[in-house]
Structure 1
Amino acid sequence: MCELALPKCTGHQDCGLALHDFRIGCRSELFGRQSDDNNNNNNNGCTDECRISVLRLTKSALGVNYLYCRCGESSYCNLIQKRLKRCYPQSSSSSQSDMTDCHTIELYCRADANCAQLWSTYRDACGPVVVVNSNNGNDGLCDGKCVDSFDVLSNEIAMQFGTDLLKCRCNSSNNNNYWF
């Protein structure tokens, strides 16, 4: 029951912090608003910020218990869960088919503190090269810092998710084509 899952999560430091981030990250979804901003890269109205917050919450068993708790007769609880279901992963762990989409890989990576730092380093080092490639059709030249940061990020993703970053497929609805 949700009335038991909530205090257990808030009483645990890691889960409580993830729940706080979840409530902030999913504020539009919690209030039933569809996002019109550029941070929404799919058709179901769930922002990337909310998806990342949900993934962070699923890092603990208490967080998973809270996300998938039974509301019982509470109409408010049922309404909130209905609004947020579209943002939940299909299961508490990523499936192999999900992990071939570049955007899904990015979201899972950004939900993990270490991987998110590597992602940021990669974007800082390689961002101008990727923009040159996507805007001008040039091959662009990657400097050593960019290549090194991509290799480190790629190794981290392979270790955590069992996915080869060079083989991911970017779907056409995603405007953030970051990959080489």
Structure 2
Amino acid sequence: MQGELGGAVDELPGLLWTAAPDGQFDFLNQRWREYTGVALAEFHGRGWQTLVHPEDLPRLLAGGRSVPVSSAPIEADVRLRGADGEYRWFLFLAHPSLDSAGQVIKWSGFSTDIDNRKRAEEELRESAARFRDYAETASDWLWEIGTDYNYTLLTENAFGSHPADRIGTKCW
């Protein structure tokens, strides 16, 4: 059974790991080693932290210190450096195992690649910002209505009045 379980753990579509209460990793699945190019034996103490983007590491570490041990798992979006030197976004989830006194005896975690989702979200934000800039500076006016035919958006130059005066009113 151990061989089957180990094989299944290594085939999971994410990075699986366990760590001591102080954050020192004591297990990494094969996907973790393949993505980072780093084996467990190469981590000294908390060496895994060198793979987390410097801007994201404080937020990730703060989650482990600020969440009470009895609460829900820690969740953080962080960039992780791959073997190619490039960073990709991962959703890190971690859950503490507790002893009978409520003390953390082990952390178990799973990290899944969300880079494509993060890039799509950023593209959507940029597109919305470009549209907003266009709508606010265009000589024509722009409006949007909901399914109830009430205005939900009006540019500043619409109807020669302040848009807030017409939001929520019927357009027909």
Task: Please report the TM-score for the alignment, with normalisation by the length of structure 1.
Answer: 0.28
Q: Which has the larger radius of gyration?
A: 2
Which structure has more strand as a fraction of its residues? 2
Larger RCO, structure (CA 8 Å, separation 6 or more):
1
